[in-house]
Structure 1
Amino acid sequence: MTDTSAAERNKQQVIDGFRQFAAGNIEVLRTLLREDFVEHSPGNPSGRDAFIEYIATAPVAGARLDLKRVVADGDHVVVHYHMTPPGGGRGLAVADIWRLVDGQIVEHWDVVQPVPEPEQTPNGMF
């Protein structure tokens, strides 16, 4: 298997999981995340079960997630999306970075930024 095919397989795995999660299926994380999953975002717990318990009550679980782009490089997949909370508002621009091993996510990093007023970003956020 080439690095390109591994990257494409990882990319598809993350896209499929993202779409299921965005549709409200939090349980998809049980198959996507490895049990010893490591979280790098401040305040978010590591470990599959602790992370799932946390994320089930986090704002992302009830938000609309609009996927904008996905980039894969070897065992890393980056997902860039617009997260809009229930009730609307401008929401957040999010970039999640996932590292996969043997088809499961083993690490996560993210960058989260409030979407500013349109006049502040004449070229758009996405």
Structure 2
Amino acid sequence: MSKTTPEQNKALVLEAFDALFNKRDYAAAERYWSDRYIQHSAHIAPGRDGLFDLVRTVPDTLRYENHLILAEGDYVIAHGRFSGNGRPAAWVAADVVRIEDGKLAEHWDVLQDEATQAQSLSGLPMFGDHFPD
């Protein structure tokens, strides 16, 4: 049974993402990510250290911006944008996080390069209400 509410879990994920991706505060991030963290992403090495090491290799311009966050029980899904990642396009991500004992314990993601208006067959942006510059 969960010891935290879905609202608490959503706030935890947003605080954790801000600490790691926007502020690059690794000491704070250690308080959010479990030392037993399980990483399911194919492009990230195992564990909390794998994630932190990846963030250390990307430009300091990396920023996470959340658009939508949902939670049920111990699971949170965050739909967001990772911009300034050193790639030609920002990543639009759906990050699925499992919370355990008040920390991020497990993670899966689905990433896609953000489409420009010229690339979008639907004519709609992938993130928010406008296309990237």
The interval holding the TM-score normalised by the smaller chain is 0.7 to 0.9
Residue in 2 aligned with 1:85?
84
CA distance in 2, matches of 1:114, 1:36: 30
- 1:45-104 CA-to-partner distances (Å, cap 9, x unmatched) read 222234322332146x64122211111111011111122226795412111111001101
Residue in 2 aligned with 1:125?
126
Residue in 2 aligned with 1:34?
34
Residue in 1 aligned with 2:70?
71
CA distance in 1, matches of 2:97, 2:58: 18
Residue in 2 aligned with 1:20?
19
Contact 1:91 1:115 in 2 (8 A): yes
User: Partner amino acid for 1:20?
Assistant: A
CA deviation after TM superposition for structure 1 residue 108, in Å: 0.5
CA distance in 2, matches of 1:22, 1:53: 12
Cα RMSD between the aligned structures?
A: 2.5
Once the two structures are aligned, what percentage of the paired residues are identical? 26
Contact 1:34 1:106 in 2 (8 A): yes
Residue in 2 aligned with 1:107?
106
- 1:4-55 CA-to-partner distances (Å, cap 9, x unmatched) read x621111111112222234323413211111111100113122223432233
CA distance in 2, matches of 1:25, 1:92: 18
Change (3 A) 1:22 1:53: closer
Contact 1:8 1:72 in 2 (8 A): yes
CA deviation after TM superposition for structure 1 residue 114, in Å: 0.7
CA distance in 1, matches of 2:88, 2:126: 15
CA distance in 2, matches of 1:67, 1:31: 21
User: How high is the TM-score relative to the length of structure 1?
Assistant: 0.81
User: How high is the TM-score relative to the length of structure 2?
Assistant: 0.77
Bigger helix share? 1
